[in-house]
Amino acid sequence: MRRILYLLPLCLFALTGCFQADQSNQNKEASTNSTDYSGGNALIVYFSKPEMNGTDTVAGASRVVSENDEILGNVEQLANWISEDTNYPTARIETVETYPDDHDTLVDQATTERSSNFRPELKPLDANLADYNTIYIGYPIWWSDMPMAMYSFFETNDLSGKTIIPFSVHGGSGLAGTLESIERLASGATVESENVLSISRNDVPDAQSEVNDWLKSLGVN
Ligand SMILES: Cc1cc2nc3c(=O)[nH]c(=O)nc-3n(C[C@H](O)[C@H](O)[C@H](O)COP(=O)(O)O)c2cc1C
Q: Tell me the CA–centroid distance for residue 50 and ligand 1, in Å.
A: 10
* Gap between the Cα atoms of 24 and 34, Å rounded: 21
Query: pLDDT band at residue 38, thresholds of 50, 70 and 90?
Result: confident
The answer to whether 197 and 28 have CB atoms below 8 angstroms apart is: yes
Ligand 1, pocket-test mutation among 44, 90, 141, most atoms within 8 A of CB: 141
Q: What is the pLDDT of residues 110-166, one digit of tens each?
A: 999 999 999 999 999 999 999 999 999 999 999 999 999 999 999 999 999 999 999
Ranges of H-type helices in the chain = 2-15, 24-27, 74-86, 103-115, 148-156, 178-185, 208-217
3-state helix, strand, coil in the chain (%, to 5): 35, 15, 45
* Gap between the Cα atoms of 83 and 136, Å rounded: 10
Count CB neighbours of 206 within 10 A. 9
- pLDDT attached to residue 221: 77
Q: Tell me the CA–centroid distance for residue 141 and ligand 1, in Å.
A: 5
pTM: 0.87
Q: What is the pLDDT of residues 66-77, one digit of tens each?
A: 667 788 999 999
2-11, 77-86, 206-215: range with lowest mean pLDDT: 2-11
Determine the straight-line distance between the first and last CA of the chain, rounded to whole angstroms.
48
Query: What is the CB < 6 Å shell around ligand 1?
Result: 9, 13, 18-19, 48-50, 62-63, 73-76, 106-107, 110, 140-144, 169-173, 201
- pLDDT attached to residue 17: 44
The answer to whether 162 and 135 have CB atoms below 8 angstroms apart is: yes
Q: Tell me the CA–centroid distance for residue 146 and ligand 1, in Å.
A: 9
What is the CATH number assigned to the segment(s) 2-33+48-217?
3.40.50.360
